Amino acid sequence: MDYNYRPGYQYYKLYKPYGVLAQFTSEKEDQKCLKDIIKVSRDVYPVGRLDKDSEGLLILSNDGLLTDWLLNPKNKRAKTYWAQVEGTITQEALNSLEEGVEIRIKKKTYKVRAQNISHKSEVQLPERVPPIRKRESIPTSWIELSISQGKNRQIRRMLAKVGFPVLRLARYKIQDQTIDGMEPGDLIPLVNF
């Protein structure tokens, strides 16, 4: 990342598996969370969110400045996702996402947009457990898109708004960090001081 790592702090990247909360405490007794899959110092926390139905790259650190640097909307740090949607996505839908769509969250309306949108003929992701539902008569398609906002379930809401519900969503990249070569649950230190 284009961030100046600071001595004395810890930085990791994690491939968060599907079905795991991106926090260290469970909301329900039978719900998996980060403490069930990784071991880090008690002061290390996720930088940002990734809902339990999504998978992919999650940065963890105990450096509060990194949190602001990465998540403050003024900084416009891009996060790139791969989304598998129901149906064959149209150019019209992609154009709408780029121009911006309105989504509602907790009775408020936000205009949000995606950048760098493209079709993906295939993606390199491990098999998801459990696998996505498949219907013989309905095709699916993959797209890559980036956002610099970070509203709750933003990509899912955006794609539903243009008529293409998300079947699988993976955060592929934050700045220059990716999940290339990682498996769900892999935790990799980003710097050693």
Q: Kindly list the catalytic residues.
A: 51
Half-sphere CA count of 156, side-chain side, radius 13 A = 15
Phi, psi of 111 (to 5 degrees): -95, 120
Residue 175 and residue 116: Cα distance in Å, rounded?
14
Residue 70 and residue 176: Cα distance in Å, rounded?
12
Residue 148 and residue 162: Cα distance in Å, rounded?
19
Q: Name which of 60, 63, 66 is nearest 23 in CA terms.
A: 60
Q: What do you get for the CA distance between the two ends of the chain, in Å?
A: 16
Taking a C-beta distance cutoff of 8 angstroms, is the pair 72, 133 a contact?
no
Taking a C-beta distance cutoff of 8 angstroms, is the pair 21, 53 a contact?
no
